[in-house]
């Protein structure tokens, strides 16, 4: 995946994340200021793989990584609502 495409798709997830944080500020409690936040979209295998590789590189640089797992769940037949959770990174 090209870097620009990865950035664009992650930006969309970031926008969803920030909307969720506005209604649930507790989501950010486990994210330290210096941590790299990496999205793990369950509905986008290509971006998931690219982001896991990014997390691996960050950890090789001894940077703290926190995963935000993104799962799009159909709430109404054609509308998807994001469900986000914060996880500590564990990349092999």
- Which segments of the chain are extended strands (E)? 36-41, 65-76, 79-88
The pLDDT tens digits for 3-41 are 999 999 999 999 999 999 999 999 899 899 999 999 999
Contact 27, 20 (CB under 8 A): yes
pLDDT tens digits, residue range 36-89? 999 999 999 999 999 999 999 999 999 999 999 999 887 666 667 888 888 888
H or E element at residue 57: helix 45-60
Fold of 3-88: Trna Endonuclease; Chain: A, domain 1 (3.40.1350)
Q: At what angle do helices 45-60 and 3-23 cross, to 10 degrees?
A: 90
Q: Hey, what are 81's tokens?
A: 């609502």
Q: Which two tokens stand for residue 43?
A: 């509905």
Is the overall model pTM greater than 0.85, yes or no? no
């Amino acid at each position: 995946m090209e870097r620009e495409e990865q950035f664009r798709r992650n930006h969309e997830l970031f926008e969803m994340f920030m909307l969720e944080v506005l209604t649930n500020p507790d989501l950010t409690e486990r994210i330290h200021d210096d941590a790299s936040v990496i999205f793990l979209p369950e509905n986008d295998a290509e971006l998931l793989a690219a982001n896991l590789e990014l997390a691996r590189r960050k950890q090789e640089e001894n940077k703290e990584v926190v995963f935000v797992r993104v799962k799009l769940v159909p709430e109404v037949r054609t509308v998807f609502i994001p469900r986000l959770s914060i996880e500590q990174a564990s990349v092999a």
